[in-house]
A and B are shown apart, each in its own frame.
Chain A
């Protein structure tokens, strides 16, 4: 069989765009794939500059590519990941697709005329719209997964493991840039009692509402996490003990003044807080800093709850004394 006749029908029915340009960027040919999507018959634009027909083309960019194809007699490529499309064309699924234009991979290939030896450049356009959509979806899912991995399922604040990672990173940062860093630990007062009165759903409700309320009181840079059960932590970057102590007192006051409505009842919940600042002269790690804040929190509880205590080294001696006298 003489296969010569095959070339044109296949070229026309190819499910890829074929656009042939002269070395001075004039249109010599495009196949049906492009003709139908562009809606302009080839006869109308043949010998016109490609930049006059596809007015959105990035001229400097494309010229650089085409020139290199001609000069080096070697192909050049453009991936959708770097440039979503070369030719602004519609895609064939305007309803089920979210992108406005056909996302494309483009190969630019050198062509030599067999008789005249003249060089042309063939732009081979492949539709990558579906691939790009899958990619986007994958990225969205990865992000959602990552988010889920960092959040506490109930309260939607950071979970303990991620919050500890953040604290670790903030400690390193504070040390590197010689900035202050403080930590607040707080505990919902008499949580067991709340659970007994309102049931576990009532208790959960209080945890969720209080987390959201306290989150709303914080600056964007403050990092709230659920440390476990009814215990939470707030990382306050670039904040000294005094500033953090003021924040803690304010939160304590506002929580106490903020009734929670649960099944036609008002629940009045209070919290106890402990505040500690990273000591720049000691090599404190996450564990040390949490321990200091925890000690201050313990004293807040001991002194009658619904209050905030700031950690000072003297507290350790005080604590020692009261535990000794208890024995």
Chain B
């Protein structure tokens, strides 16, 4: 498994922190309210770790999974998978101006997910001097089995897991973002990190 060296891990953590700061600033302006984002915890995970995550802890709580692909220059690419609770998303949706009676949860969820993912990844891409393009976000909740099947296939070996905790004034919005980065993307990421480390 491709591993990040301690230096690379530190550099990446630092870039993530900056990116997170920028993303929360953008979100705050957009939502017109204070947004605190905790320093994201990052770790490299293997397929089996992720499978454990996919097991719903509590069947009553509807967990939503949205996936969005991204690609930049020189093979920096991957898939951002966001996990969060529907009730959580509804609160954020109200802040974003969605009508309360809007029955279209799927659109609301993909919109929110897209906003969270792209603001963060745009900032991260900026740090890595990579401009990113995105695929349309897709709701995976009703395809859990398929997702598990895909994850079990050896298409990737390691993924970067980024845990993000959003705090918007008086309520917390918790979501987990997992960046699935295939081997090639991980190599590119390491090269970028090494280049950044050289500059210091």
Contacts and interface: CB of A to CB of B under 8 A. Distances in A.
Interface of A: 64-65, 68, 71-79, 81-83, 105, 107
Contacts of A74: 114-115, 118-119, 122
A77 B110 contact: yes
Contacts of B150: none
A107 B135 CA distance: 9
Contacts of B119: 72, 74
A77 B137 contact: yes
A74 B27 CA distance: 11
B56 interface: no
Contacts, number: 47
A82 B107 contact: yes
B118 A75 contact: yes
Contact of A72 (B30, B107, B134): B30
B26 interface: yes
B106 interface: yes
Binding site secondary structure of chain A: mixed
Given A64-B97, A105-B136, A82 B122 contact: no
Contact of B114 (A73, A76, A83): A76
A99 B59 CA distance: 38
B50 to A, nearest CB: 24
A76 B107 CA distance: 11
A77 B115 contact: no
B176 interface: no
Nearest to B108: A82
Nearest to A78: B107
A221 B182 CA distance: 53
Nearest to A81: B106
B139 to A, nearest CB: 9
Nearest to B120: A74
For the complex of A and B, the 6 pairs showing the least CB-CB separation, nearest first, are A74-B118, A77-B136, A82-B107, A71-B30, A72-B119, A82-B106
